[in-house]
Amino acid sequence: MDTWDTKPSFVRSDLPLIDCDIHNRVPSLGTLYPYLPDFWVEYCSTSGFGGPEMGDYPGGAPTSALPDTKPEDGPPGSDLELLREQTLDFWEADYGILNCAYWVQTVHNEYLAAALATAANDWQVEHWLDQEPRLRASLVVSSQNPLTAAQEIERMGDHPGFVQVLLPVRSLMPYGKRHYDPIFEAAARHNLVVGIHYGGAAGIPPSPSGWFSTYLEEYAGAGQIFQAQVISLVTEGTFDRFPDLRVALIEGGFTWLASVMWRIDKEWRGLRHITPWIKRLPSDYMRDHLRFTLQPMDAPPDPKQFLRMIGQLDSDDMLMFSTDYPHWQFDSPEEALPMGLPESLMKKILAENAREFYQL
């Protein structure tokens, strides 16, 4: 990668590294035609349908792609050779987890959405997982219909290359609602993590007060949606219904978590009688069931302040290294993780937490 001449000091041969957020991108709807039934190819061709609504990363926004990540033919994240060179090889990663944010949830025709999810997953197997043994991937599912999403998990959940089911953080209703139980049940049964990722377009405002005016509000305000999903999963009893469920919060920050833990624990002590299905402190559920990717890192670069935040979480198991490739989240590799952290914590963040959580 021309932008970066040297690797960061924490990339060492004796220090394993797992990148938990790498974006592979479907170049175009036509890319999936070989994996779609003829009926849907004809439907898309004659209707003018161009694919799911994909507005999370505007092409002109500086944060959307690092320089030099665009291949000659296709958008950033669409070329395996370039992705391999700029992520797995550059960071000397043991594994990289692909998050294909192909939001079929925006397609109102649920039958087409399910077909696109199946096609995207078959495409990931052939063009990514079969070509690079260090890669693992996330299943694309049509979560607007949890039953069809569960069917796709049943179809592909035992494939060794898939370790996660990917959901956009924006949804029609909070994920703790029992409406989504078929997805969580299937994921837990197939030993898959559920990854809740920044983005999506559910058709409803992304804030309690209505629609934003700018992309800056959209991007910076995503943290409040992650908080709402975390509170919903705990309060609605999702982790009691599915005690083996593991959920990764991807690309949504993490420094807000300590205050959410404190507040919900405080309120639960006074209101626990109206949620008798919550058997433990809400923060205990979060420590046991949730993990957070590092980028975009909303923590100060000072290692002492970073350690203070880890202490507020009362856990060093919750953070997992990520680059968020090809998005531009740091100006140099050294900024991907605060320097000067204890080596034991570095090992956990760089690889051990992810290795255990994803059971790699």
pLDDT for 311 equals 94
The reported pLDDT for the residue numbered 208 is 81
Please say if the pLDDT value at position 142 is more than 80. yes
Looking at residues 266-295, what average pLDDT do you find? Answer: 95
At 126 the pLDDT is: 98
Q: What is the pLDDT of residues 5-25, one digit of tens each?
A: 788 888 988 899 999 999 999
Over residues 114-130, the pLDDT tens digits come to 999 999 999 999 999 99
Cis amide bond preceding 16, omega within 30: no
Q: Give pLDDT tens digits for 27-51.
A: 999 999 999 999 999 999 999 999 9
Average pLDDT over residues 313-320: 96
Could you read off the pLDDT of 218-267 as tens digits, one per residue? 888 889 999 999 999 999 999 999 999 999 999 999 999 999 999 999 99
- The two tokens of residue 144 are 């607007």
Cα–Cα distance, 11 to 333 (Å, whole number): 10
Phi, psi of 291 (to 5 degrees): -135, 155
> CA-CA-CA-CA torsion for 124, 321, 157, 277, nearest 10 degrees?
-140
3 pLDDT higher than 70: no
CATH code, 18-357: 3.20.20.140
pTM of the predicted structure, to 2 decimals: 0.96
* Cα angle value 157/158/159 (rounded, 5°): 95
Does position 1 have pLDDT exceeding 60, yes or no?
Answer: no
Enter the DSSP assignment of 128.
Answer: I
Three-state secondary structure call for residue 139: strand
Alpha carbon distance 121, 276 (integer Å): 39
Task: Give the Cα separation of 234 and 249 in Å (integer).
Answer: 14
CA–CA distance, 297 with 336 (Å, rounded to integer): 8
- Residues of the chain with pLDDT > 90: what percent? 80
Query: Residue 107: what pLDDT?
Result: 95
